[in-house]
């Protein structure tokens, strides 16, 4: 997993509350056999004017000019800001896969749905909680500044902007550590790689046919 330490990135403002997982990635894309490739379908119903499916090339579809991700100013954004209760709805991990595949590293909101929140950490994606008024201040600065970027300093647990805003945020220490070191569950197990190799060395002697 890509480590998450200090991320400075362009901000896409999604000024909505209760962004649900169906909105993040609609159900027809769950038939996919992949964990990647969901990026073009992120926020599909909002982003395109016609209906999409796995076998329809997104490039051939009509884009909704009013949707934030279709605005050239926000191309290449890596941080999403949104309102209350982001990620509500189903448990589909595809929602997180779609956000990361698009290129987002974090979403900042006043609150998150539980399952989405948990799924995020498994994929190196930071769901960052700020107070509602702090998020509002980010929206305000975003609206006034062209090419608005902000910096998330995970080790210091701060969010700062060129306009001088600086907020601190809370995060579970274990999760913080995993993100900073880029460790998912597999990553954690791989910290014991030496123990696994030592086991294999023992097995090679005691049960050589298994090591073949």
Residues forming the site for other proteins (CB under 8 A): 1, 31, 33-36, 55, 122, 184-187, 189-190, 192-193, 195-196, 199-200, 202-203, 206-210, 212
Closest approach of other proteins to the CB of residue 121, in Å: 13
CA 82, 112, 107: angle at the middle one, nearest 5? 45
* N- to C-terminal Cα separation, the chain: 30
Query: Is the Cβ of residue 72 or residue 186 nearer to other proteins in the bound state?
Result: 186
Query: Is the Cβ of residue 156 or residue 211 nearer to other proteins in the bound state?
Result: 211
CB 16 within 8 A of CB 84: no
Query: Is the Cβ of residue 82 or residue 99 nearer to other proteins in the bound state?
Result: 99
The rounded Cα 60 to chain-centroid distance in angstroms is: 26
Strands lying side by side in the sheet with 126-129: 126-129, 106-109, 79-82, 6-14, 149-153, 158-160, 166-168
Closest approach of other proteins to the CB of residue 36, in Å: 6
Closest approach of other proteins to the CB of residue 175, in Å: 17
67: left (phi over 0), alpha (psi -120 to 50) or beta: beta
Query: Is the Cβ of residue 2 or residue 168 nearer to other proteins in the bound state?
Result: 2
Closest approach of other proteins to the CB of residue 137, in Å: 34
Query: Is the Cβ of residue 6 or residue 30 nearer to other proteins in the bound state?
Result: 30
Q: Is 129 exposed, middle or buried (0-12, 13-18, 19+ CB in 10 A)?
A: middle
Closest approach of other proteins to the CB of residue 116, in Å: 16
Closest approach of other proteins to the CB of residue 77, in Å: 20
Cα distances from 150 to residues 13, 30, 92, 158, in angstroms, run 12, 32, 29, 10
Query: Is the Cβ of residue 72 or residue 212 nearer to other proteins in the bound state?
Result: 212
């Amino acid at each position: 997993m890509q480590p998450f330490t200090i991320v400075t990135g362009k901000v896409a403002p999604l000024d909505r509350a209760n962004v649900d997982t169906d909105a993040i990635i609609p159900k027809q894309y769950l038939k996919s056999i992949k964990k990647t490739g969901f990026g073009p379908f992120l926020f599909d119903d909002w982003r395109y004017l016609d209906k999409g499916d796995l076998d329809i090339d997104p490039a051939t579809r009509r884009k909704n000019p009013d949707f934030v991700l279709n605005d050239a100013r926000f191309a290449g954004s890596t941080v999403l800001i949104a309102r209350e209760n982001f990620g509500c709805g189903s448990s589909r991990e595809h929602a997180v896969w779609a956000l990361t595949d698009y290129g987002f590293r974090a979403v900042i909101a006043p609150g998150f749905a539980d399952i989405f929140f948990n799924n995020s950490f498994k994929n190196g994606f930071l769901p960052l909680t700020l107070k509602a008024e702090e998020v509002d201040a980010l929206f305000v600065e975003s609206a006034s500044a062209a090419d608005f970027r902000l910096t998330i300093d995970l080790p210091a647990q701060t969010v700062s902007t060129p306009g001088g805003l600086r907020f601190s945020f809370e995060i579970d220490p274990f999760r913080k550590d995993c993100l900073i070191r880029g460790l998912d569950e597999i990553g954690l197990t791989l910290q014991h790689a030496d123990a696994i190799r030592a086991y294999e060395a023992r097995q090679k002697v005691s049960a050589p046919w298994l090591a073949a």
